[in-house]
A and B are shown apart, each in its own frame.
Chain A
């Protein structure tokens, strides 16, 4: 039977924990909002990019660009976007489980963003090609080298395709591990809505003016594609970030609620114990008094 002092100590320690998890919950909520705003800010870029792509599709010879054909090799390159820090629920575990359960190809190399993914994949003895540290909030200038790296690797022909695994942010409580193909670019969906985007207006090719392309449609196309890939990648990283923060927010909210429940239970036990002690004392006093009479 614990003494009242033991229980008091436990209540105090759990109160401290609850305070920390509550603070983390609030910070995560603010960061999630920021990441969502960031993704929304990039939307006008994506929309204009799609408009130009649709216009180009009609004018350029799509088959001519190496980004549209699968590489000759039989390897697959997978970029895994996870969080740097833990305490965010089953976010990273779910993504990695999906990765392990998906047939990615005979030979797979991994590239990671985020420490959690890098260490888990290293533990699973997977072949890690590179790890890119991306700070929070993610800046586009930090994503560019990642995009460049993936594209260069793809262009060597060693890889059949380049995939990206990330957590798709649907809403605050719904996250979905997703694996999307980054390269080769699918010419049919190019310029259309991407699966992970929430809102999007489809571009009608007939509504576009008859553009002139300088120097030529093919050359503009060749210049647009790397930027399109980088922009897509950036949006995916932002989705991953928003998921991370929302998942942490939910995890921390649960932790705070649990702590509060434990405090309630312990307080009840403490009061019972205290009451028992008082009753005991009273009993002793009365017994002593009766013995004296």
Chain B
């Protein structure tokens, strides 16, 4: 019995297909979801999501979000979801460097909102890089 996996962002439905299992980066640690899982709602932190479909593993980078699990479906609400193959490592590297240098020029306390936004950008970029690099070493 497969699980219906759906990944949606505010911009689009990124993924919608039947999969055998999902491993996601929950705030409490990595979590594997198999069919007939008990109904669950939990939070997601930026990281790598792996899904198994007919013996093949696919990796995706996901941002902060929420997960809703029922016995037959897993729905993920996140602000970012990118297929590992679509990650442009160079662009992400540049974004990361840009965010880090921006963080240095920002003084904490003065521009808290910008600091927070930059930190979130760094987390997302790091998550993407992590997914990309890990896949290459295999």
Interface residues of chain A, those whose CB is within 8 Å of chain B, are: 38, 41-42, 44-46, 48-49, 51-52, 55-56, 139-141, 144-145, 148-149, 152, 209-215, 219-220, 223-224, 227, 230-231, 234-235
B39 CB-CB contact with A under 8 Å: yes
Residues of B within 8 A of A215 (CB): 27-28, 42
Q: Does B38 contact A (CB under 8 A)?
A: yes
Does B88 sit at the interface, judged by CB under 8 A? no
Do B11 and A220 touch across chains, with their CB atoms under 8 A apart?
Answer: no
The B interface is mostly helix, strand or loop, or mixed, namely mixed
| Contacts between the two chains (Cβ within 8 Å), count | 93
Taking a contact as CB atoms under 8 Å apart, the answer to whether A144 and B41 are in contact is no
The reply to whether B11 and A140 form a contact with Cβ atoms under 8 Å apart is: yes
A224 touches B112 (CB 8 A): no
Instruction: Check if B33 is an interface residue, CB within 8 A of chain A.
Output: no
A38 touches B11 (CB 8 A): yes
Please tell me if B114 contacts chain A, counting CB pairs below 8 Å.
Answer: yes
Interface residues of B (CB under 8 A from A): 6, 8-13, 26-28, 38-43, 64-66, 68, 70, 75, 77, 79-80, 112-114, 116-117, 120-121
Q: A38-B11, A44-B13 are in contact. List 18 more A-B contacts (CB 8 A).
A: A45-B9, A49-B77, A52-B41, A52-B66, A52-B77, A140-B9, A144-B120, A145-B117, A148-B116, A152-B112, A211-B39, A211-B40, A214-B28, A214-B41, A215-B42, A224-B43, A230-B79, A231-B10
Contact yes or no, B39 A220, CB < 8 A? no
For the complex of A and B, list the 5 residue pairs with the smallest distance between their C-beta atoms, beginning with the closest.
Answer: A209-B39, A145-B117, A214-B42, A149-B113, A223-B43
